[in-house]
């Protein structure tokens, strides 16, 4: 049975086998929307989009295209319904599959939003109401986040940026240390949210 929640001005449908949209993530949409004011021309990519609300709210009031990617068939079905309900069929597309398999090599984006599962495996039992595949981020919670960073580095325009959601500052520090060795994308700014942290990454300037 679908459930309904409001997310900003959007009415968003979700189900028991998708993550219930978390109100605090409106902060990620707002920051993304703000970043679009100075971003190069081009579409937005949302990785681990779930039912699509964060990306949809981010591009609301803009003419940016949006590609939402998720490996859950159910989440993608709801994301398509939410795109239609928001009247954004003309600009938003939902792709079902692992994020490193559904993008064409030549596709480039001005902004990548990423909401990977970030709960360390040994803490997932604390959230019995959440689908495991939506929250389990591996031993340190960073397994899927690392893939998001790799995919973003391949598909961002030169001056594009990645806005990544993680669980806590300790994870940001660990990821920043790893990225310092690759020099592809680096951490530019971190903001705390009520239920996690938001990390802005870009290429070295
Ligand atoms: C934390 S949930 C975020 C969902 C939504 N953005 C939200 O905030 O409610 C993580 C999502 O990542 C998806 N996911 C996990 N691994 C993935 C992968 N390799 N490629 C694409 N999506 C993936 C899951 O299906 C799940 O919907």
Token look-up 């939902």 returns 94
Structural domain of 90 = 3-202
**CB count in 10 Å sphere of residue 173:** 11
Pocket test for ligand 1, best of 19, 74, 114, 164 (most atoms within 8 A of CB): 19
Whether residue 44 contacts residue 111, with contact meaning beta carbons closer than 8 Å, is answered with: yes
pLDDT tens-digit profile of 65-104? 999 999 999 999 999 999 999 999 999 999 999 999 999 9
Token look-up 């998001």 returns 148
Confidence of residue 1 (pLDDT cuts 50, 70, 90): confident
Task: Give 50 Cα–ligand 1 centroid separation in angstroms.
Answer: 5
What ligand 1 atom has the least distance to the C-alpha of 21?
9
pLDDT at residue 182 greater than cutoff 90: no
Apex CA 7: angle with CA 119 and CA 42, to 5°? 85
Q: What is the dihedral of CA 111, 113, 114, 115, to 10 degrees?
A: 180
| CATH code assigned at 9 | 3.40.50.150
Domain count of the chain?
1
pTM of the full predicted structure?
Answer: 0.98
Give the Cα separation of 173 and 115 in Å (integer). Answer: 17
């Amino acid at each position: 049975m679908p459930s309904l929640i409001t997310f900003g001005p959007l009415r968003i449908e979700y189900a028991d086998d998708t993550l219930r949209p978390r109100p605090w993530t409106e902060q990620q949409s707002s920051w993304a929307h703000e970043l679009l004011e100075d971003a190069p021309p081009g579409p937005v990519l949302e990785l681990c989009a779930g039912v699509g609300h964060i990306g949809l709210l981010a591009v609301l009031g803009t003419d940016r295209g949006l590609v939402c990617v998720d490996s859950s068939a159910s989440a993608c079905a709801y994301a398509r319904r939410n795109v239609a309900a928001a009247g954004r069929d003309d600009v938003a597309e939902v792709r079902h599959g692992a994020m490193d398999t559904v993008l064409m090599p030549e596709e480039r984006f001005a902004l990548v939003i990423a909401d990977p599962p970030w709960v360390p495996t040994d803490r997932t039992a604390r959230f019995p109401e959440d689908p495991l595949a939506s929250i389990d981020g591996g031993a340190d919670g960073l397994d899927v986040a690392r893939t998001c960073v790799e995919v973003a580095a391949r598909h961002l325009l030169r001056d594009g940026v990645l806005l990544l959601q993680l669980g806590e500052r300790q994870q940001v520090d660990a990821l920043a240390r790893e990225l310092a060795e690759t020099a592809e994308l680096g951490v530019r700014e971190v903001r705390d949210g009520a239920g996690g942290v938001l990390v802005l990454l870009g290429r070295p300037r």
